[in-house]
Structure 1
Amino acid sequence: MPYVMVDIESDGPIPGDYSMVCFGAVVVEPGLSRTFYGRLRPISEQFIPEALAVSGFSREECLAFDEPTTVMEKFRDWLSTLGKGRLMFISDNNGFDWQFINWYFHHFLGENPFGHSSQNLGSLYKGLAKDTFVNFKHLRKTLHTHDPVDDARGNAEALLQMKDMGLKISFS
């Protein structure tokens, strides 16, 4: 079961009313060499300037990005190369990242190759540490830059560290 660490950047708090600006994905495995990156044209006229600023892109730049359908098709096709079996979506904040990826897959392609569930990296670490007040972010090696591939890579590094710490998990 391949674990795919995902991070998204958006121009607002919810999909549909606001747009996913870009996202990155990293297959969690030694080397972290299999990655995906997509930039998507806005689907709405609405955006929150402060939210968009986090991505580092201007609204004008976003308007020149690829059509969402095309990006989601490419992401689905990339995911299909990861092998047979169930794909596991995991992210630092799956309540946020999942809602955008799930909505975009269903809205533009009619289905989500990840199915109907996701995992939260922070919750896994809290369970491993047996402490709901701890944070995993010290386990990242790659700096958190708001480039979604960098951020997904750093989170994947943390998950690999958790496995070394005794988390029972299989990445195949």
Structure 2
Amino acid sequence: MRRSSASTDNVGPMPQPEPAECFISVDVETAGPVPSLYSLLSIGACLVDRPEVSFYVELAPEHEAALPAALEVSKLSMEELAQDGTHPEVAMRQFAEWVDEVTPKGERPVFVGFNAAFDWMFVADYFERHLGRNPFGHAAVDIKAYYMGKAGSTLAQSSMSELSPRYLGGSALSHNALGDARDQAALFRAILADSGAAHDA
């Protein structure tokens, strides 16, 4: 049987190409493990490819609850933030405006985090409640998971204690949100460039 060539008469609109992606490294410091009970205290962000293009804000707490261990890590003070921190609605508006400003026209911003599940849930929650929109949409890239897929590693082998000696000269995270966002960006760039990660992890 002769196969007829496809007619172009009934072909619908051609699918539009996916927009290019603008990777943005994001880190947060919080008063505890979940946004329903504990406050988001600071946000740091930078472009993965240009970490000098950055954003930082400290937020006034929404809850009084705080875990001493969390505050010990971040060195942030609930009392000082209550007095001097930016109101959450204002902070999230500033963050969204920065994301919109630094994302090139025609591209879409992509949230990149190290253990993105933690940072993402606070940022997504605050965006939705205070702004009614999340400029990152509903997805994020987790550096740990990306490394696991590329290197064929276990979750334990994707920890910062394992990856920092290989990609960051052994430096530890500072737990300043902007400093950590920049370190995460450097780590992600290095993993992306490491063609051998899948073979010698």
Report if TM-score (shorter chain) is over 0.5.
yes
The answer to whether the aligner puts 1:33 opposite 2:66 as a matched pair is no
Q: Paired residue for 1:57?
A: 76
1:50-70 superposed Cα distances (whole Å, 9 cap, x missing partner) = 212211012211112110111
Task: Structure 1 unaligned segments of length 5 or more: list them.
Answer: 168-172
The answer to whether the Cα contact below 8 Å between 1:106 and 1:112 also exists between their aligned partners in 2 is yes
Q: CA deviation at 1:143?
A: 4.0
The answer to whether the Cα contact below 8 Å between 2:164 and 2:172 also exists between their aligned partners in 1 is no
Q: Paired residue for 1:137?
A: 164
User: Pick from 183, 187, 201: which aligns with 1:154?
Assistant: 183
Percent pairwise identity: 33
Q: Paired residue for 1:170?
A: none
The answer to whether the Cα contact below 8 Å between 1:23 and 1:39 also exists between their aligned partners in 2 is yes
The answer to whether the aligner puts 1:92 opposite 2:114 as a matched pair is yes
Q: Residue type of the partner of 2:151?
A: A
Distance 1:124 1:17 in 2: 30
Q: CA deviation at 1:37?
A: 0.4
Distance 2:131 2:51 in 1: 27
Aligned length: 166
What TM-score results when the alignment is normalised by the length of structure 1? 0.90
The answer to whether the Cα contact below 8 Å between 2:110 and 2:141 also exists between their aligned partners in 1 is yes
Q: Paired residue for 1:43?
A: 62
1:78-117 aligned within 5 A: 78-81=98-101, 82-84=103-105, 85-117=107-139
User: Pick from 78, 94, 109: which aligns with 1:74?
Assistant: 94
Distance 1:125 1:62 in 2: 35
Q: Paired residue for 1:122?
A: 144
1:81-119 superposed Cα distances (whole Å, 9 cap, x missing partner) = 122322111100111100000000001001100000111
Task: Structure 2 unaligned segments of length 5 or more: list them.
Answer: 1-20, 197-201
Distance 1:140 1:150 in 2: 13
Q: Which has the higher contact order (CA 8 A, sep 6+)?
A: 1
Distance 2:60 2:187 in 1: 31
What TM-score results when the alignment is normalised by the length of structure 2? 0.78
Structure 1 consecutive aligned stretches of length 4 or more whose deviation exceeds 3 Å = none
Q: CA RMSD in A?
A: 1.6
Q: CA deviation at 1:137?
A: 2.9
